[in-house]
Amino acid sequence: MSILTQIIAAEADEVEAIGEAANPLDLWSGIGLRDLTIPRIAMLECVLTGELFDDAAAQCEPVYVSPDEGALVLRLSDALLARLAALDDERLEAVAAELTATEAFETAGWSEDEVATMLADLGELAQLAESQGQALFAWIHPLRT
């Protein structure tokens, strides 16, 4: 089963609207990714912020579950947003190599180029969110493929 994840830049009070949207990218700035699961988001948090995996995973609890759409919405931590926004080319390459070597990404077959592209896109989105005083959310839907 494939998972569709959309990382969205939005106001903090728009959580429910994000969860109920059939396609949040139609309404907010963001990026779409396949198979960016909760454990992979937690691993991204670990690598960028230095959090322990269990602590990062605890921060990845859904803040909204859509009864109609079946989507989960997570709010990415402010620390992760800041680290993504601050990624420069050198750090991006190092983080991409480190993430690609983790079990979470390696077993799913993510290449270092795919991870680097994801990080670059997330970095740009984080910069936009930061400049507008917004948060980053992950909209995760297991049925939309």
CA–CA distance, 23 with 121 (Å, rounded to integer): 18
Element (H or E) spanning 64, and its range? strand 64-65
139 close to 18: Cβ distance less than 8 angstroms: yes
pTM, rounded to two decimals: 0.93
Average pLDDT for residues 69-97, to the nearest whole number? 94
H or E, element range at 104: helix 103-106
The mean predicted confidence, pLDDT, of the chain is: 93
* Span 25-70, pLDDT tens digits: 999 999 999 889 999 999 999 999 999 999 999 989 999 998 877 8
Residue 88: alpha-carbon gap to chain centroid: 18
Q: How many CA atoms lie within 13 A of 139 on its CB side?
A: 31
How confident is residue 2, by pLDDT bands cut at 50, 70 and 90? confident
Could you tell me if 38 and 62 are in contact, meaning their C-beta atoms sit under 8 angstroms apart? no
Crossing angle (nearest 10°) for helices 38-49 and 89-100: 130
Report whether pLDDT(144) > 80: no
- Domain covering 4-141: architecture: 3-Layer(aba) Sandwich (3.40)
